[in-house]
Amino acid sequence: MTMERILFLMAGTVVLASLAVGWWVTPWAFLVTAFVGANLILGGIADWCPMMFILGKLGVRRSAELVSGRNS
């Protein structure tokens, strides 16, 4: 699975979970939703976010690397 797909899955899961916790437990959980949103904006603008760094260290490759055949 590519880095982009993992990022979408993780971001969606964390957003939905934090919305549920914010609705039923504590409104402070909405800060997690804001953090994920800010990181998605950062990823869109700078093509980098903290989770991309972590996934890269774990050896997950980006879709462009798979298409170009680069070994990183």
pLDDT tens for 9-64 read: 999 999 999 999 999 999 999 999 999 999 999 989 998 888 989 999 999 998 87
Locus of tokens 């609705």: 23
Locus of tokens 């462009």: 64
The answer to whether residue 71 sits within a structural domain is no
- 5 falls in which pLDDT band (50, 70, 90)? very high
| Burial grade of 19 (CB within 10 A; 0-12, 13-18, 19 or more) | middle
The answer to whether residue 47 sits within a structural domain is yes
Range of the domain at 26: 3-66
Query: What is the reported pTM?
Result: 0.80
